[in-house]
Chains A and B, each alone.
Chain A
Amino acid sequence: DTAVSQTPKYLVTQMGNDKSIKCEQNLGHDTMYWYKQDSKKFLKIMFSYNNKELIINETVPNRFSPKSPDKAHLNLHINSLELGDSAVYFCASSQEGTAGGVGEQFFGPGTRLTVL
């Protein structure tokens, strides 16, 4: 059983299009994350939800909108795609305690987005 899954694995699209990436975790965790990995392999957090509440919202263009319909799912919608959005997007989850917690993160396989 896959613990953290993402769909699609690859996404190739034209500039200006709108696309979504979906993430699901079956670990029973209460916190989920989106990260972006650029071409130099640098991993940077974008968003995090704890119990469906947005708790981290980094400096990300507002063309990116996360949505968490329930604790097991976190989706990422991107409007008006630009060339610079090409990257690998990783979803992760962790189980947290109260007041920040100390949970161990587990990552999905990544979605490679290519904008032409």
Chain B
Amino acid sequence: GIQVEQSPPDLILQEGANSTLRCNFSDSVNNLQWFHQNPWGQLINLFYIPSGTKQNGRLSATTVATERYSLLYISSSQTTDSGVYFCAVRYSGTYKYIFGTGTRLKVLA
């Protein structure tokens, strides 16, 4: 079945730094989402990005479905960016989402 791997597993940044988070998947997917789980446990939608590139403020994401990866870029990080970042992917023709193992990010003031 599909495996979803995220890297790095843990990341510590100084406020203001930039970072790139990666999501690799093992088969063709037709849907991909990035989420941020904040320290209070809420899952916040960042991007719905089965392919292409999107930007939202300091965050942007790129999915290259043919090469089976997606990247999340965080620029000028802030302490409020701390938390766990998940990608979730789904096969074509199915409703089942599979979540990656997450990247735990800590941004220091």
Contact = CB atoms under 8 A, between A and B. Distances in A.
Contact of B95 (A31, A41, A44, A110): A31
A105 interface: yes
B93 interface: yes
A12 B34 CA distance: 31
Interface string B79-101: 00000101010101111111101
B7 interface: no
A50 interface: yes
A68 interface: no
Interface SS of B by simple majority: strand
B95 A101 contact: yes
A105 B101 contact: no
A48 B101 contact: no
A55 B93 CA distance: 12
Residue among B35, B43, B102 with the most chain A CB within 10 A?
B43
A99 B37 contact: no
Contact size range, B: 20 to 34
B95 A96 contact: yes
Interface string B35-57: 10100011101001010000000
B30 interface: yes
Given A41-B37, A109-B42, A110-B41, A100 B48 contact: no
12 contacts: A31-B95, A35-B99, A43-B88, A45-B96, A45-B98, A48-B96, A50-B95, A90-B43, A100-B30, A105-B97, A107-B42, A107-B45
Given A42-B101, A88-B41, 14 more contacts: A41-B37, A41-B84, A41-B102, A41-B104, A43-B86, A48-B95, A56-B95, A96-B95, A99-B93, A102-B31, A104-B45, A105-B33, A106-B45, A109-B42
